[in-house]
Structure 1
Amino acid sequence: MLSFHLSKSQAHLVWNNHLEPVLHVPNHATIEVEITNASGGQLSPTSQTEDVRQLDFSRVNPVTGPIYIDDAEPGDTLVVDILAVDVDNWGWTANIPGFGLLQDMFPHPHLRISQITDQYAELLPGLRIPVQPFIGTIGVALPQDGDHSLVPPRAQGGNMDIRHLVAGSRLYLPVAVKGALLSLGDTHAAQGDGEVAGTAIETNAMVTIRVHLEKNFSVTLPQLETPPHSQRHGHAWVTTGIGPDLFEAARQATRHMVSLICHRTGLPAIDAYLLTSVAADLKIAEIVDVPNWVVTMHLEKQIIDGGI
């Protein structure tokens, strides 16, 4: 089985199916991919909140690639086995003005630098988040020509921020162009389902993947298989949002969780909001009892019980 390596310098900032591949690999190849954190190298362990205000958004969310897979044709399914996600020893989480589920409540920039170990990330002194590294952005080229933003997820994958794309997962992507043109980036040390503040614990990483093609199995949207350890939550605090609008219900559940965290820990609301983004999970609890739907947010009790 052939192995390959890509440097973080072999990156791009848009989806474009005419980008020149930086690597050609055969079916069943194993590839080690170096990833730059979502700031594109603009934030460091010594960065301050003012650096968030100065971010150049034309440089954010770089992805390493594209990788040309031999014999990949439109209509095929590209299967990506995630073998390892080895993250850096630090990461960042920010509130970026105009971004996030509660952007109207938190209009000012804010930044926290986490120290990362094998077991946890320390968002604030004494506030430890279990580490579960994963790939935030992974996808193949779109069928449409021209430049397309990396920010929104699409049918070919991309910035999906599915926290279950950890080592041991298998991802299925619909191939839209010859060679597939696979790229990946935006690695995280930890994130809650929903990534409600817009950022997770963003970090550099070395990712190892294996690719192969399914010629007789076609998907139209990404699918994945998760390993047994990718789920969480035993004892948890749970807040709810209820109403006819799922988006507003998600906002309600998040606002209530921010309030709960503040009440139990004394944290400022902005840090409670960042905590929900990196450790709390939004779930659709009910979507059949017309006219109101229920969204819940879950946060492991051990993270905040007893304060900080």
Structure 2
Amino acid sequence: MPEVVFPLDSSRSFTDQELVGHNRWHPDIPPAVTVRPGDVFRVHCREWFDGAIHNDDSADDVRDAPLSRVHALSGPIAVEGAEPSDLLLVDILDLGPIPQEDSGPLAGQGWGYTGIFSRTNGGGFLTDQFPDAYKAIWDFRGQTATSRHVPGVSYTGITHPGLMGTAPSADLLARWNRREGALIATDPDRNPPLALPPLPDDAILGSLSGADFDRVAAAAARTAPPRENGGNQDIKNFTRGSRVFYPVFVPGANLSVGDLHFSQGDGEITFCGAIEMGGFIDLHVDLLKGGMETYGVAENAIFLPGNVEPRYDRWLAFSGTSVTLDDEQRYLDSDLSYQRACLHAIDYLTKFGYSPEQAYLLLGSAPIEGRLSGVVDIPNSCATVYIPTGIFDFDVEPSASGPVRIDPGMGAPRSSA
């Protein structure tokens, strides 16, 4: 086993560890540990809410989820010799749930969860159609996930980190805050908000304290979106065997990682759409000196996907176009097209006995494929969502005999008002 450079004790909270991670981006958060180019090492990760979501049949914890506390990131990890303008090469060698802990109160101890977030606390891709909080618990058996809340399906997880990235420079952080602040100002009372500004409340900033903590907390960026440093990209194919190249903006690069997922569909459409878990990730790092200029990779990460995806050979695909539910035509709106494709898939699955919420949770967590299929044929873009038919315990293809009606079981818990 590689050396564990960032250990976590499951019996202690994220802020009560030997090494304390962080939940904001800022160049002045000190590295928790330093590694060298060529090193292989293990990092423990807590699920993004640090134990706030429970293995039970209530969704009140999702309704009340403390979004100001996410993400619980392990790091920063400095890489010796890294300088701005370099590319940081990171290989994902292995990852999975919390090792040797197959039961317990923390996600990753033999189980994980998927949530539909309420409109008033986070929302989601289809929040207009699904404004309330719901939850599904998934049990792990090897590489397979099943749920008492979404019966009739089981699937092999494509485990991956939802979030990994390098620290921003002071200039880059200022750009983030300026442009996201300008967006918020266009509709400051929107719910869900257009973006999340810096928030000192609940900030976790590693070893910082006192006046330095207050200064950094006032300007540090939230970790919710993906940005130039990588960040919360939620790419399901970013799994074992992946190699990623991150721009380096500060000395040491200051790599951080977290938000591990057991499985996820393209888009993580419920916002907490993956099967969230804590666990471990084994990494190898190296440097490409001057790589940002050499390869023109100055404001984005690039990566080679891993090759350990589950083998599904038959898919049922649904298309959508850029026309609203009120029959308003939009011009090449690919985001809307993907929404419509997902809604068509949800409507279809309800014909087999699932509630719309169960179908929505399934699309968020299952290894579905989302694609931009046509983006030039004015006025309609076309997006498609592919569902592997092999995840179901029954036949979901259209037939002359009509859809099988399954027992939906207890259903997905809904939060109280």
- Following superposition, the deviation at residue 137 of structure 1 comes to 0.2
State the one-letter code of the partner of 1:63.
L
Question: Which residue number in structure 1 is paired with residue 379 of structure 2?
Answer: 291
| More strand, by proportion | 1
Contact 2:85 2:290 in 1 (8 A): no
Rounded to whole Å, the distance in 2 between the matches of 1:46 and 1:100 is: 22
Q: Spell out the pairing of 1:248-259 with structure 2 (5 A cutoff).
A: 248-259=336-347
Q: Spell out the pairing of 1:141-160 with structure 2 (5 A cutoff).
A: 141-144=167-170, 145=173, 146-160=219-233
Q: Deviations over 1:94-151 (max 9, x none)?
A: 0111221110111111111100122311133442122111110000011235300100
Q: Does 1:95 align with 2:121?
A: no
Question: Which residue number in structure 2 is paired with residue 215 of structure 1?
Answer: 289
Which has the higher mean CA deviation after the structures are superposed, 47-56 or 267-276? 47-56
Q: 1:141 to 1:232 in 2, by over 3 A?
A: farther
- Following superposition, the deviation at residue 208 of structure 1 comes to 0.6
State the one-letter code of the partner of 1:194.
G
Q: Which has the larger radius of gyration?
A: 2
Rounded to whole Å, the distance in 2 between the matches of 1:93 and 1:84 is: 23
Contact 1:4 1:29 in 2 (8 A): no
Question: Which residue number in structure 1 is paired with residue 206 of structure 2?
Answer: none
Give identity over the alignment, percent.
30
Question: Which residue number in structure 1 is paired with residue 140 of structure 2?
Answer: 116
Gaps (5+ residues) in structure 2? 9-16, 98-107, 174-218, 323-331, 396-403, 407-417
Rounded to whole Å, the distance in 2 between the matches of 1:44 and 1:212 is: 38
Rounded to whole Å, the distance in 2 between the matches of 1:35 and 1:4 is: 11
Normalising by structure 2, report the TM-score: 0.70
Rounded to whole Å, the distance in 1 between the matches of 2:38 and 2:235 is: 24
Normalising by structure 1, report the TM-score: 0.94
Q: 1:190 to 1:261 in 2, by over 3 A?
A: same
Contact 1:3 1:29 in 2 (8 A): no
Rounded to whole Å, the distance in 2 between the matches of 1:4 and 1:75 is: 28
Rounded to whole Å, the distance in 2 between the matches of 1:162 and 1:125 is: 26
Rounded to whole Å, the distance in 2 between the matches of 1:227 and 1:110 is: 32
Rounded to whole Å, the distance in 2 between the matches of 1:232 and 1:142 is: 38
Rounded to whole Å, the distance in 2 between the matches of 1:135 and 1:115 is: 19
Q: 1:47 to 1:148 in 2, by over 3 A?
A: farther
Rounded to whole Å, the distance in 2 between the matches of 1:197 and 1:287 is: 24
Rounded to whole Å, the distance in 1 between the matches of 2:311 and 2:83 is: 37
CA-atom RMSD, angstroms?
A: 1.7
State the one-letter code of the partner of 1:268.
S
Aligned length: 306
Rounded to whole Å, the distance in 2 between the matches of 1:232 and 1:110 is: 30
Question: Which residue number in structure 2 is paired with residue 65 of structure 1?
Answer: 75
- Runs of 4 or more, structure 1, over 4 Å off, are none
Which has the higher mean CA deviation after the structures are superposed, 53-62 or 270-279? 53-62
Q: Deviations over 1:227-284 (max 9, x none)?
A: 3333765211111111321111111001001011111x31110110011111222211
State the one-letter code of the partner of 2:117.
I
Rounded to whole Å, the distance in 2 between the matches of 1:217 and 1:75 is: 6
